[in-house]
Structure 1
Amino acid sequence: MLKSKTFVKKTRAGGVMKIVREHYLRDDIWCGSEACRECKQESTVLQAEACIESNLCPYPHYVVPDTNVVLHQTYIEREQGESANDRNDRAIRVAVKWYSQHLKADGLKVVLLTDDQGNKEKAEESIDEYVKNLTANPELVDRLALSKDDKAEIISSKVLFPEHLPLSKIQSGIKSGTFLQGTFKASRDNYLEATVFVQGEGEESTEVLIQGLQNLNRAVHQDVVAVQLLPRNQWVLPSSVVLQDDGAAKDDDVDGDEEEKAVISAAEAAGKPTGKIVGIIKRNWRPFCGMLNVSQIKESTRHLFTPADRRIPRIRIETRQASTLVGQRIMVAIDGWPKNSRYPNGHFVRSLGSAGEKGTEEAVLLLEHDVPHQAFSQNVLSFLPKMPWGITPEDMIKRQDLRHLTVCSVDPPGCTDIDDALHCRELENGNLEVGVHIADVSHFIRPGNALDKEAANRGTTVYLCGKRIDMVPELLSSNLCSLRSNVESVIGLKASLTYAEAQMRIDDTNKKDDITESLRGLNKLAKILKRKRIENGALTLSSLEVRFHIDSETHDPIDLQTKELMETNSMVEEFMLLANISVAQKIYDEFPDCALLRKHPAPPPSNYDILLKAAKSKNVEIHTDSAKALADSLDVAKVDGFSYFNTLLRILATRCMMQAVYFCSGMDSDFHHYGLASPIYTHFTSPIRRYADIIVHRLLAVAIGADITYPDLMDKHKQSALCNNLNYRHKMSQYAQRASVAFHTQLFFKSRGILNEEGFVLFVRKNAIIVLIPKFGLEGTVFFDSKDKAGPSLVFDEEGPTLKVEQTTFHIFDKVKVTISLDDSNIQHQKIRMALTEPVIPGVSVAAPDVEPQAKKPKVDR
């Protein structure tokens, strides 16, 4: 049925234009109810026996939620003087009325659930009342977002925060330069402090410091906010206090003035740009994982929820399930944050399981870091090759058969997603030929299909302790695309070795076989390549990575040690770097506007402040004018009698670096990779675990005529948007991996009592020192202040930086001894506790344990 509406519209030129709008209304859609006697339906989805246990609606009924689904499927004319919103509400009511009249089965009703005030006056029930009266599922009431009435009930009358400005004032203020727009990043160490990152022209950004509850003004981590700079005489420095909101629930009329004095009183006049939040442009709220703090008031249904992420404020929720949720990891969503409430209000979403259990904690870290970890859908799996799969003559037409070469892979132990391999052989003229062989994952993942979209969304494989979250299904990651020895492929791998196995072959002078000779040639060349890179200014930095030995039965960590790097680690790295640089240049030459590249920005000079101070404390001079200057000064940085000094300095230098990022060549002009001292770079060598490499493979394939292009590959804007997602996924995967290491470290120390270990001061704070334990690659905080009793005398010098505790002064890199133990008093925020044993400070240091427990011997290395 065709329905048309005609109206006239005045044009800019002053004329009149006639407009006809037509609506095609279908009358052949059946209602879907078994109770209907009018429609000729092919199938039904609504049962005739519509029984929902409800005290509010005891009769058989169907429920129509007040949603856009109903709105968009119902057409009615807009009446004279009726607003668009009123018309939409009436459309929903018309749909309910039609269903009620259409379904003539005795006793069957249709109930509209709504929270709209106008609809509530004309509808039968509100959604709140309906859900609260469900007898079969009373717990559903906890999952309702708070209504305006509910919010009014649980906030105090005292105004705790300034009013947020309306968006219109914010926009005009940003335009005039009165306000700045940026991303709010809360501090992990101090809940009364945050930084707003304001993006400037190009890649430049400004950091605005925010201190104190009033100035933070209800912003939540990752919100997009409007910030107003304070006068220069109110600019301060970031606090050196480690301060966490881990006490009992505070009343809403407590504004935290005393806590703020502890932070702001230490501020200095010559600080960094400091401001206050005046409005919220975009909330970045999501369901947060954490645990319930049950109210001490008997029979209370209002409780505080403590998020796992310390950067998120605690959330006030209402639940009748508190007794069953104690000890559970749960998810909670924020509904709003009134100006007269110390905490935001929210509602319970779901339970994740018992806190402390490995499965639960793994789920938490994946959810908290937004790691896509659901099973691959059938639609995605449908695009995998059918098994058994084999190489066909058609496959070989555009490929070079390399099965006659002595190709081998060198990887960590237990690796099953092997996507790179090497070969080296001597040519007749005496030169050495080297091959870098990379799995052709792009052959199996074609542009635009469900498999490709899923891989693009995941962005990267995420490696947790003892578990891997694959970017692509296992058939590709561990089978068809994994370069396994003695498996038929175009490459034809002769051996799959670990770094240790490859090193043993190189070092064993009795071995003269082809594989060993190939490895020796590769190792010889790699040393030359590395020397040239370092001469050009490439940095050799350091970070402590740990490896867990896992019990084969319980899957608990039974030993923990830092990873040992061998020559073969460097050998593989050098040829992967060379391949990446070579491919980057090739795809940029062919596609200057749409090459996917990777750059590493040079750090701003201020990033090096802590490194320079640390070196100066040991009378060592570090130059940071360029990467080469930094590399050269790190090479000669030594302290007599302190062999570990150079490693510590390189660890600290690593902390000064910027994050490397993917970008599209047509959207940027600075390609330089600071750490590698290379003018151009990309990722090509790991297509099983990085989606960026798949795109680079496609670009290279087009460049050499091995494949065809497609529109998105040549669209620099779409490439840039893809890079943004890849950068986000890469960062989140790093955070998830660190969280997994932290959790397994806690498991490791759980049954070991108190250990006494040697460490080094890595950072000095106003009330604490951060200590690095090289044996375990572990960092921890030794606090010197106490909430329960009068603490020792503390004198902090920002310039040193030094901290004088009683008569002992701590500097960066000082050697100390500490006890290490697991503090599990807070089951959600279990932490490694460190306490000072040496140097001995009366009233501060603790006694070292008499006997240190022995770790079990490892069974399996995973």
Structure 2
Amino acid sequence: MSDERDEQAYAGTAEGQGPVRIDEELARHLANKREELFEEFEIRDGFPSEVRREAEERTTDIQAEITEELDEDYRTDHRDLTACTIDPADAQDFDDAISIEKEEDGRYHLWVHIADVTHYVHPGSTMWQEAVERGSTVYLPGYTVHMLPPVLAETACSLVPNEDRLAHTVEMLIDPETLSYEEIDIYKSVIHSDERLTYSEAERRLDEPDADLHDELSLAFELAESLHEQRKDDGSLVLNPKRDRAHTIIEECMLKANKAVTHELQWVRGLEAMFRVHPQPSPDEWDKALQEIQELDGVSIPADSWDDPRKAVNATLEQAPGRQLNKIQWAVMKVMPRAKYMNDPFGGHHALNFEIYGHFTSPIRRLSDLVNHWIIYQNETPEDHDLAALCDHASDRQKDAETAERLYKQFLQEIGLDPHAVNNRGLEVIEEPDEGQDLDREATEVDPEALD
């Protein structure tokens, strides 16, 4: 189980297909359902005029501001580094980009570049206050409610390709044998992303030796695969054993960067911050889950893995019939407490098996990351903020966002729409279909009672 990019889980691709087509009546039903969920969970869809105005004023000349930052030597110029983003096909904001090289002595040199949101959004500003209120971006299939105004989330802060962008870089030298950090440096930078890749595009590049970025992606996967295997050996829970190479690259690089920042915050600077804590189930709860798994048809938990339930689940998932994977995952999820934000990191992250952990790599879409960026940059917590209360608020808002997403997906299924298809392909509303023109089949088999 990973705590990184959970909100944007991506199941398969349908990039070669067009949008899912629906008629106007069904589009109205979807809009009504969204409004119902927004009201129930107090999700703010549109932005107040003063927030939009502040965002527009703060981003009047992005390039001139970047040039000034470089001229004043406020930032490290990393525009010469080869960098790329890898995200779902429907992603609208690009928080992170990676660069990687291998030193002559075999060490991995990894840069994780994160959108520098705090350059534009400061405590005390209306944009900051609005971000605190929202807590996170809400991702519904085919519809996004940003934490930040779109001009920031999709343009000024987003690490779009072929444009200079302000970033917060986590630079790491990693030992090839132990995979431990030999050096960590965190600083402000300017980057120039070479390409925006979807997961399936990254997979294709890995398969084509002559493709652009093939060497960089291959090196990134070499490191990521080693990190992934080490995590499993150490007892990190991995509920998706079939994850492809592109997902593995991003997951492991983001985890490594988040761990580096958490190390800096706690052990080097001793700062209070928003840490990610995941309590462990009780022994009885773990026993209940393992017993349920053991009783599944065709499933057997390896005898040498029972001492650590996480390793037992990992080993079982790798050997279990495909038809039982969802049941194994669900048996585990039922006993897992929710991860939460806390200003005290101790207690650790049980699922990842990390002593301490925190979020840093998604400041466009998560309040915790935005706050941690400010703390790293200013070397102190934001004034007039009760960090413990802020952690509770962020945890509650994340839970609300995830619940709204689950209920919306459930509604789509009830009316005959495939949430994954909508997520990956988007929606197209057909005003007046031509005679003989078919809408997508899954969009026409509507249960009338589901629309009440």
The 3-state SS of whatever aligns with 1:382 is helix
AA aligned to 2:62 is W
Q: 2:85, 2:196 within 8 Å by CA — same for their partners in 1?
A: yes
AA aligned to 1:519 is L
The 3-state SS of whatever aligns with 1:712 is coil
The 3-state SS of whatever aligns with 1:456 is helix
The reply to whether residue 614 of structure 1 matches residue 280 of structure 2 is no
Residue pairs, 1:502-513, within 5 angstroms: 502-511=202-211, 513=212
Structure 1 residues 827 and 413: CA distance shift in structure 2, 3 A: closer
Which among 729, 739, 747 is matched to residue 415 of structure 2?
Answer: 747
RMSD of Structure 2 on Structure 1 (CA): 3.3
> Structure 2-normalised TM-score?
0.75
CA distance in 1, matches of 2:324, 2:289: 12
Displacement, 1:354?
11
CA distance in 2, matches of 1:650, 1:644: 12
The reply to whether residue 578 of structure 1 matches residue 256 of structure 2 is yes
> Structure 1-normalised TM-score?
0.41
The reply to whether residue 733 of structure 1 matches residue 401 of structure 2 is yes
Counterpart of 1:604 in structure 2 is 282
Structure 1 residues 729 and 735: CA distance shift in structure 2, 3 A: same
Which among 109, 118, 122 is matched to residue 442 of structure 1?
Answer: 118
CA distance in 1, matches of 2:54, 2:139: 25
The reply to whether residue 381 of structure 1 matches residue 60 of structure 2 is no
Q: 2:135, 2:393 within 8 Å by CA — same for their partners in 1?
A: yes
Displacement, 1:622?
5.4
The 3-state SS of whatever aligns with 1:528 is helix
Counterpart of 2:44 in structure 1 is 372
The 3-state SS of whatever aligns with 1:570 is helix
The 3-state SS of whatever aligns with 1:748 is coil
* Structure 1: unaligned runs, 5 residues or longer: 1-352, 544-563, 751-773, 777-820, 829-862
Displacement, 1:610?
4.6
1:370-426 superposed Cα distances (whole Å, 9 cap, x missing partner): 212233332553254141322345412221000000000101003120010001123
Q: 2:415, 2:447 within 8 Å by CA — same for their partners in 1?
A: no
Please identify the structure whose Cα radius of gyration is greater: 1
Structure 1 residues 598 and 407: CA distance shift in structure 2, 3 A: same
Counterpart of 2:216 in structure 1 is 518
Further displaced range: 589-598 or 739-748: 589-598
Structure 1 residues 638 and 457: CA distance shift in structure 2, 3 A: closer
Structure 1 residues 354 and 467: CA distance shift in structure 2, 3 A: closer
Identity level (%):
29
Displacement, 1:608?
3.5
Which among 495, 499, 512 is matched to residue 195 of structure 2?
Answer: 495
Displacement, 1:634?
2.3
Residue pairs, 1:644-723, within 5 angstroms: 644-665=323-344, 670-703=346-379, 710-712=382-384, 718-723=386-391
CA distance in 1, matches of 2:58, 2:270: 33
Q: 1:618, 1:639 within 8 Å by CA — same for their partners in 2?
A: no
Counterpart of 1:425 in structure 2 is 101
CA distance in 1, matches of 2:47, 2:421: 37
Counterpart of 1:539 in structure 2 is 237
Report 1 or 2 for greater relative contact order, CA contacts < 8 Å, sequence distance ≥ 6.
2
Structure 1 residues 497 and 364: CA distance shift in structure 2, 3 A: same
Structure 1 residues 405 and 594: CA distance shift in structure 2, 3 A: same
AA aligned to 1:692 is S
Q: 1:541, 1:650 within 8 Å by CA — same for their partners in 2?
A: yes
The 3-state SS of whatever aligns with 2:264 is helix
Displacement, 1:365?
1.2
Displacement, 1:742?
1.2
Further displaced range: 578-587 or 378-387: 378-387
Residue pairs, 1:635-650, within 5 angstroms: 635-637=314-316, 642-650=321-329
Counterpart of 1:246 in structure 2 is none
Structure 1 residues 823 and 595: CA distance shift in structure 2, 3 A: same
AA aligned to 1:507 is D
AA aligned to 2:34 is E
CA distance in 1, matches of 2:97, 2:421: 32
Q: 1:442, 1:698 within 8 Å by CA — same for their partners in 2?
A: yes
CA distance in 2, matches of 1:825, 1:386: 47
Counterpart of 2:11 in structure 1 is none
Q: 1:608, 1:656 within 8 Å by CA — same for their partners in 2?
A: yes
The 3-state SS of whatever aligns with 1:423 is strand
The 3-state SS of whatever aligns with 2:113 is strand
Counterpart of 1:42 in structure 2 is none
Structure 1 residues 638 and 738: CA distance shift in structure 2, 3 A: closer
CA distance in 2, matches of 1:677, 1:734: 23
1:103-152 superposed Cα distances (whole Å, 9 cap, x missing partner): xxxxxxxxxxxxxxxxxxxxxxxxxxxxxxxxxxxxxxxxxxxxxxxxxx
Residue pairs, 1:356-367, within 5 angstroms: 357-367=29-39
Q: 2:97, 2:114 within 8 Å by CA — same for their partners in 1?
A: yes
Q: 1:541, 1:654 within 8 Å by CA — same for their partners in 2?
A: no
The 3-state SS of whatever aligns with 1:504 is helix
Which among 73, 77, 80 is matched to residue 404 of structure 1?
Answer: 80
The 3-state SS of whatever aligns with 2:194 is strand
Q: 2:161, 2:193 within 8 Å by CA — same for their partners in 1?
A: yes
AA aligned to 1:504 is R
The reply to whether residue 632 of structure 1 matches residue 300 of structure 2 is no
CA distance in 2, matches of 1:739, 1:447: 33
The 3-state SS of whatever aligns with 1:362 is helix
AA aligned to 1:731 is K
The reply to whether residue 824 of structure 1 matches residue 443 of structure 2 is no
AA aligned to 2:139 is Y
The 3-state SS of whatever aligns with 1:683 is coil
AA aligned to 1:605 is P
CA distance in 1, matches of 2:204, 2:313: 31
CA distance in 2, matches of 1:572, 1:628: 30
AA aligned to 1:413 is A
The 3-state SS of whatever aligns with 2:316 is coil
Considering fraction of residues, name the structure with more strand. 1
CA distance in 2, matches of 1:398, 1:617: 60
Structure 1 residues 354 and 408: CA distance shift in structure 2, 3 A: closer
CA distance in 1, matches of 2:384, 2:138: 26
Further displaced range: 529-538 or 382-391: 382-391
1:162-190 superposed Cα distances (whole Å, 9 cap, x missing partner): xxxxxxxxxxxxxxxxxxxxxxxxxxxxx
Structure 1 residues 422 and 775: CA distance shift in structure 2, 3 A: closer
Q: 1:439, 1:482 within 8 Å by CA — same for their partners in 2?
A: yes
Displacement, 1:541?
1.3
CA distance in 1, matches of 2:239, 2:405: 20
CA distance in 2, matches of 1:641, 1:634: 10
Structure 1 residues 385 and 678: CA distance shift in structure 2, 3 A: same
